[in-house]
Structure 1
Amino acid sequence: MTIPAGLPVSDTCVDLLVIGSGTGMAAALTAHELGLSVLIVEKSSHVGGSTARSGGVLWLPASPVLSEVGGDDTAADAATYLDAVVAGSAPRELSAGFLKHVPATVDLLRRTTPLRLFWARDYSDYHPEEPGGSAVGRTCECHPVDTSILGEYRTRLRPGVLDVNVPMPTTGADYRWMNLVTRVPRKGIPTFAKRLAQGVGGLLLGRRYVAGGQGLMAGLFAGVLRAGIPVWTNTALVRLEGDGERVTGAVVDHGGREVTITARRGVVLATGGFDHSMDMRWKFQSEALGANLSLGADSNAGDGIRAGQELGAGIDLMDQAWWFPAVAPLPGKPPVVMLAERSLPGSAIVNQDGRRFANESMDYMSFGQRLLELERAEGRPVTMWIVFDQQYRNSYVFGAVLFPRMRLPQAWYDAGIAVRADDLTELGARMGVPVSEFLATMTRFNQNASAGTDPDFGRGRSAYDRYYGDPTIKPNPNLRPLTKGPFYAVKMVLSDLGTCGGLKTDERARVLREDGGAIDGLYAVGNTAANAFGTTYPGAGATIAQGLVYGYIAARDAAG
């Protein structure tokens, strides 16, 4: 199918070919604005990629979104921070290229899409204590978007991670307070009511509001439709045309028929990572990873990375992913998203030995890296349980769909991913962990939590930890002892938001050969490229932001 009606699906020639319809749309919009003819091809039947399944936030340091509302961030401070956290795990030029083009990318989004961005103030950088780090954060979001602007193509937007029965367009900033509705009702109730009214009221007016990744991709998609840029869906990359020196186009598969697309100015690979290519994941990451636990789009199978390698492109950081701990899935189902759960007081995470092993509140990528480090050090997979009490269950949302006081699903108990007991001794036995070790762990945890400290792992010391904590708990919003049953334990798995190792690129988004030379006419952005920030996640939205910014950079370079 072609969206909108435009180039027929047959051999054709364009200036710029964009393969993938997630953040690659920024490259398409930039190229179109510069007067180039553009074609987007998308492997699946939906547009939006993994971005449409994400929280949709953007890490935009020193951007006009911040400065226009009084933010005092500077590119120099952001550069200092990136130098500190990237720590040489990626070329410094990649961070510099990103920072240089953030303001222009924001301007592009404002000119070419209906997106309205706002600063999610106080959403701390993930490592704010590092030089240049910011406790007030550099993360931005888009206001909810009415998908009715997509007209007949509204159903072609990739669905989100959660099925929502009641429309309630919730931003990340909203979620923070809605999660605390029973603890901070003066914030939670008005936020809840506002979004419920917007969602339900919008339907009465013929509007369908979405937020997060759905909202971001709806805005980008609307810009593509308005520009008349054709999108071929159900069209998969077969191979790139050209050699190790220059790429001239690509051969794609549409309905079992090969079609050749000549690209005069270049090809932008925006096909996502290798999230669901388990052969690649077991080879480069860990043989202990569960099959298809990724929250990334199911069409992400490393197509762009493999195609680049066939032409001699180098790869880097293939052991890395945007790790994201989640509730273990029911048979045949995906993992259940966890966001604030690990940070909230009245909970702790233990391994199969009944011991804590990390600061539960740390950012999700670092948490996953810690888990894999332990696996390598111990020579065995690490299993984990999040343990909490009834007060915790009465107070907070769990798994994004269980509101306070709701019972854990019986299906979780039946599948063995949840257990319940009146005391910790019985709970440990039902979890299958060594009871004596578990009791010793919880005794120490409770003693320290009573004093508001965590000398073992430092939970609650970072501004990032505290962002998703409970501000009504003093002195540490992330710590409270678990002393009164019933108690619960829910099994967790290591999921991810997508892989972030891929093709080596330079500050112009050009794909590099193994010898370091650029392949003329070939670009890679988003998770098809190796993470511009190396082995780190600087702040919420750094993955999507670099995809958009480097899409902008790639199109400008292709345009000359």
Structure 2
Amino acid sequence: MTTAAPTTIPAGLPLRDTTVDLLVVGSGTGMAAALAAAERGLEVLIVEKSPYVGGSTARSGGALWIPASPVLAENGAGDTAEKARTYLDSVVAGTAPPQRSAEFVTQLAATVQMLRRTTPMRFTWARDYSDYHPEHPGGSADGRTCECRPFNTSLLGEYRSLLRPGLMEPTIPMPTTSADYRWMNLMARVPRKGLPLIVKRLAQGLGGLMLGRRYTAGGQALAAGLFAGVLRAGIGVWTQTRLVRLITDGDRVTGAVVTQNGREVTIEARRGVVLAAGGFDHNMDMRWKFQSESLGEHTSLGAETNTGDAIRIAQDVGAGIDLMDQAWWFPAVAPLPGADPLVMLAERSLPGSLIVDQTGQRFTNEASDYMSFGQCVLARERAGNPVESMWIVFDQQYRNSYVFAADRFPRMGLPQAWYDAGIAHRCDDMAELGRMMKVPHTQFVATVSRFNEMSRSGVDSDFGRGNSAYDRYYGDPTITPNPNLRPLDSGPFYAVKMALSDLGTCGGLRADERARVLREDGSPITGLYAIGNTAANAFGTTYPGAGATIAQGLVYGFIAANDAAAL
């Protein structure tokens, strides 16, 4: 692939007032809107607040929940649009307009084909990555999640340095997909699966370097693939450029004023403006107002520039908001002072572990999907029974068997800094461990004893851990009868403090099935669109499956571009 003439304007070069057909604010899934619009012959400009391209998409796992898509059909998944709509009707359960889910399914196949035409990306099915609620009507235990294959970021040429860094930058070149992660995490338990994958990805990463290729996976691969398409199409991207206000002509949005290095520039947009600037992840005033005053400051895993600017600016022209109490909640290892929380994904599902609150008791199914886990925590707070602290507790066998917090490989000790900061404890005696955690140790020991009894039977009669196909996906298949349960019989025992983090907020501007921003009375604001986390979640208060957040951003970007092209 050859890149077009330079179209990305670094901060410092003089900007000028300009006119385009479509202005896209935000360079995560907003790039899909830009690509779709350019394919329809529109002149497009992307403005990005940060110095990087990729948004929270680049920091994500890169999964795409794309039911009834060509990717699934080509792999014999047997999924249908009817099944997908049935499932979404069941899990959304009226918390969002049904037209939003229905149109997502209707336009999904065309979106995937557009991405195939306009980018170098290739997609693969993460088979067995179950829907998050597979027991609901239309749910799939085989899963509908796909992802971008490892991508050569050298295709970005001189613009590679503008790609937003990932959440977990590897120290060695090893492009690991989400499907790989599952088995690599079990490398000590199922070496015949995990070790060959490690060898394969190391060979791809190191071998690629020898050929001048730099492979990446996950959200980095997806963002890089979109960016490569943007460069190939010659779409302009202005980085370090912040949205200041929208321009209106009567009831219609006709452009925006942006600023870079203190200089304001006016961009007229003949067909409209697409707001794809993320949520309000790092605007704590908004989070404390709409969500919870107990949320820790800046514990979100979303891009640091997601401060709700686009949402507030759209409200200034009459836009309505919805679902502002919602986020893609994500339990994580509590951060060290001044640091970010650490990602936890499979850790909660693996046998030989449990999670307790400040009372020393379990309070939910540890292996549930991360959004449901967070919603449980906040529901308890609203009910007057808050989870003031939470700890994941595990034994030495667990520590010898699984990866923890992404970079603690089996048998590796926990960082001394965790012990020094009081977010980790280790002890041979369970009662003493409870004292170190500052939980009622008698109750804690009783909780562990009951958990051990249930684990021996393979049935969690308290919270149903292991009942769902989703729970079992991240379990240990070598453990029977329940891959999510094993008693903690012998020490030393460990406790690691957790925090409620998130992948970004998912409440925002009210939008319809055409991605048009709506006023409080439900009427559309002509020329204004919202997608991704700038819009209220198309799936209401639920997370249907891995990658539903990114997938709806891509699909609604496609929808917004086509609606604007038809004006």
**TM-score when scaled to structure 1?**
0.99
Can you list the C-alpha shifts for 1:406-456, whole angstroms capped at 9, x where unaligned? 000000000000000001011101000000110110010000001111000
Q: Which residue of 2 aligns with 1:558?
A: 564
Q: Name stretches of at least 5 consecutive residues in structure 2 with no aligned partner.
A: 1-5
What code does the residue aligned with 1:69 have?
Answer: N
TM alignment of 1:379-528, pairs within 5 A? 380-528=386-534
User: Is 2:378–2:386's contact at 8 Å kept on the other side of the alignment?
Assistant: no
What residue in structure 2 maps to residue 376 of structure 1? 382
2:38 matched residue in structure 1: 32
8 Å CA contact 1:243, 1:311 repeated in 2: no
Number of equivalences: 559
Task: Give the structure 1 partner of residue 193 of structure 2.
Answer: 187
Give the 5 Å matches for 1:345-356: 345-356=351-362
CA distance in 1, matches of 2:247, 2:558: 23
- Are 2:196 and 1:178 equivalent residues in the alignment? no
CA deviation profile, 1:238-292 (whole Å, cap 9, x unmatched): 0101167210000001110000000000000000000000000000000000000
| TM-fit CA distance, 1:202 | 1.1
| Distance in 2 (alpha carbons) for counterparts of 1:540 and 1:453 | 26
2:8 paired residue number: 4
**8 Å CA contact retained: 1:244, 1:519:** no
| TM-fit CA distance, 1:396 | 0.1
Correspondence for 1:219 among 210, 217, 225: 225
SS in structure 1 opposite 2:504?
strand
Q: Structure 2: how far apart are the matches of 1:138 and 1:537?
A: 13
**8 Å contact kept, 1:288–1:381:** no
Change over 3 Å in CA distance of 1:179–1:296 after alignment to 2: same
Superposed displacement of residue 205, structure 1 = 1.3
- What secondary structure is seen at the aligned counterpart in 2 of 1:164? coil
- Partners of 1:323 and 1:369 within 8 A in 2: yes
| Corresponding letter in the other structure for 1:523 | Y
Mapped partners of 2:432, 2:304: distance in 1? 39
Distance in 2, matches of 1:447 and 1:4, equals: 60
* Number of the residue aligned with 2:3: none
Alpha-carbon distance between aligned partners in 1 of 2:407 and 2:380, rounded to the nearest angstrom: 31
| SS of residue matched to 1:90 | coil
Out of 374-383 and 303-312, give the one that drifted further: 374-383
The residue correspondences of 1:94-243 to structure 2 (distance < 5 A) are: 94-242=100-248
Q: Distance in 1 between matches of 2:126 and 2:520?
A: 40
1:49 pairs, out of 35, 42, 55, with: 55
SS at match of 1:516: coil
Distance 1:244 1:180 in 2: 60
For residues 161-190 of structure 1, the C-alpha deviation after alignment (integer angstroms, 9 at most, x for no partner) is: 113211100000000000000111110010
Name the amino acid aligned to 2:556. Y
Structure 2 distance, partners of 1:117, 1:147, is 16
Mapped contact 1:371–1:382 kept (Cα < 8 A): no
Seen in structure 2, the aligned counterparts of structure 1 residues 454 and 551 have a Cα distance that, compared at 3 Å, is: same
Matching residue within 46, 62, 70 for 1:64: 70
How far apart, CA to CA, are the structure 2 residues paired with 1:388 and 1:200?
35
Indicate if the aligned counterparts of 2:125 and 2:145 stay in contact, CA closer than 8 A: yes
Q: Distance in 2 between matches of 1:549 and 1:9?
A: 31
What does the per-residue CA deviation read over 1:95-123, in whole Å, with 9 as the maximum and x for residues that have no partner? 01100000000000100001000111100
Q: CA deviation at 1:206?
A: 1.1
Residue type at the aligned position of 1:489: A
Corresponding letter in the other structure for 1:247: V
> Is residue 325 of structure 1 aligned with residue 324 of structure 2?
no
**1:41, 1:235 within 8 Å by CA — same for their partners in 2?**
yes
Q: Is 1:282 the counterpart of 2:288 in the alignment?
A: yes
Alpha-carbon distance in structure 1 between the residues aligned to 2:89 and 2:387: 33
Instruction: Tell me which residue corresponds to 2:22.
Output: 16
Given that 2:22 and 2:272 are in contact with CA atoms closer than 8 Å, whether structure 1 keeps it comes out as yes
2:8/2:239 contact within 8 Å kept: no
Task: State the AA in 2 paired with 1:395.
Answer: S
Residues 104-151 of structure 1: per-residue CA shift (max 9 Å, x gap): 000001000010001111000000000000000000011100000000
CA distance in structure 2 between the aligned counterparts of 1:243 and 1:434, rounded to whole angstroms? 63
Q: CA deviation at 1:3?
A: 3.9
Q: Secondary structure at the match of 2:282?
A: coil
> Retained in 1: the 8 A contact 2:150–2:177?
yes
1:27, CA displacement in angstroms? 0.4
- Equivalent in 67, 83, 86 of residue 89 of structure 2: 83
Distance in 2 (CA, whole Å) between partners of 1:158 and 1:291 is 22
Taking a change above 3 Å as real, the CA distance of residues 411 and 244 of structure 1, as seen in their structure-2 partners, is: farther
Where does residue 314 of structure 2 map in the other structure?
Answer: 308
Name the SS for the 1:478 alignment partner.
coil
Q: Deviations over 1:22-76 (max 9, x none)?
A: 0000000011010000000000000000000000010000001000111110000
Q: Calculate the TM-score normalised by the size of structure 2.
A: 0.98
**Partner AA of 2:289 in structure 1:** K
Q: Please say if residues 173 and 206 of structure 2, whose CA atoms lie closer than 8 Å, have aligned partners that are also in contact.
A: yes
Contact 1:125–1:464 (CA under 8 A) maintained in structure 2: yes
- 1:276-327: per-residue Cα shift (whole Å, max 9, x none)? 0000000000000000000000000001100110011100000000000000
1:544 and 1:456, CA in 2 relative to 1: closer, same or farther beyond 3 A?
Answer: same
Q: Aligned AA for 2:359? A: D
Q: Which moved more, 1:143-152 or 1:156-165?
A: 156-165
Give the AA of the match of 1:521: G
For the Cα contact (< 8 Å) 1:120–1:173, is it kept in 2? Answer: yes
**Aligned mates of 2:461, 2:74 — CA distance in 1:** 40
Whole-angstrom CA distance in 1 between matches of 2:168 and 2:225: 20
CA displacement at 1:381 relative to structure 2? 4.8
Q: How many angstroms does 1:503 deviate by? A: 0.2
Where does structure 1 lack aligned partners over 5 or more consecutive residues? Answer: none
Quick one: structure 1 residues 5 and 376, their matched pair in 2 at CA, closer, same or farther if it must change by over 3 Å? closer
Distance of aligned partners of 1:527 and 1:114 in 2 relative to their CA distance in 1, 3 Å threshold: same
- Per the TM alignment, residue 201 of structure 1 is displaced from its structure 2 partner at its CA by 1.4
What's the CA shift for 1:378? Answer: 2.3
Q: Partners in 1 of 2:465 and 2:138 — Cα distance?
A: 22
* Distance change in 2, residues 1:308/1:389 (3 Å): same
Tell whether the 8 Å contact from 1:325 to 1:494 is kept in structure 2 after alignment: yes
Amino acid in structure 1 at the alignment position of 2:8:
P
CA RMSD of aligned residues (A): 1.1
* Letter aligned with residue 471 of structure 1: P
State how 1:250-265 maps to structure 2 within 5 Å.
250-265=256-271
Amino acid in the other structure paired with 1:173: A
8 Å CA contact retained: 1:322, 1:500? yes
